[in-house]
Amino acid sequence: MFTRILSSALLAGFCAGLVAAALQLLFVQPVLLHAELYESGALTHFGAAGAPPGAGGIELKRDALSVLFMALTYVGHALILVAGMSVAAENRVAITPRAGIVWGVAGFAASQLAPAFSLPPEVPGVAAADLAARQVWWWGTVAAAGAALALIAFSRKPLFWALAVALIVAPHLVGAPQPDSLTGPVPPEIAALFAARALGVGMAAWAVLGLLCAWFWQRETAGG
């Protein structure tokens, strides 16, 4: 069983990581590089003419490290997804590629969408609260959202659904750590575009990951 989980996760995670890296380089990195021009002072908000989003060019070493990082990250995500799928399969839940997409979107909702509701993705140069406090809140929010989605998916009791809603809402009622003042050199339009694209790429990559995890898992179990 462990070998099946590991092989399925490695294959699905690596392939999904390459997809995520390609989308990142095409849609997110140009906005990130544009923001870095404001952070460095090469451009100033309300002061200098704008630069195209692709300003900054291609940095081979940085891009290669980004691809490697994304591949490793999605292998980690895949290990969690495939482990969950194996538990579900043991309880006679059908694991199909179509169902895998749902699993992937659920993973995106728990790990990216839920925390982004109060703590959206940030570009360099924007005001931010203490990093440790944000990390604690982020992990707590992801854990609560993941538990809530599991309760919704695998429980038929309304009491557990109510608990799931409470788990989803609670971190946002507590509130994410916020900076003392909202200042920074990056225009809000760039920050908004970065957050939107980061979430869009995340959802697409997670959907691909869920599809591939289910497909490889199905092949491994059929072959075993």
Do 30 and 122 fall into the same domain?
yes
**Angstrom distance (rounded) from CA 43 to CA 216:** 47
Residues shown for the chain? 224
Total domains present in the chain: 2
Residues 106-145 pLDDT 10s = 999 999 999 999 999 998 878 888 999 999 999 999 999 9
Amino acid at 109: A
Do 150 and 92 fall into the same domain?
no
* Helices 29-40/188-223 angle, 10° precision: 140
Q: What is the mean pLDDT of the chain?
A: 88
Do 78 and 101 fall into the same domain?
yes
| Tokens describing residue 77 | 């995500």
Do 15 and 78 fall into the same domain?
yes
Task: Tell me the whole-structure pTM to 2 decimals.
Answer: 0.88
Which residue range is the domain that position 143 belongs to? 129-178
* Helices 188-223/97-108 angle, 10° precision: 140
All residues at 6 or more sequence positions from 67 whose CB lies less than 8 Å from its CB, including other chains = 17, 18, 21, 25
User: Please, which pLDDT band fits residue 68 given cuts at 50, 70 and 90?
Assistant: very high
Do 17 and 71 fall into the same domain?
yes
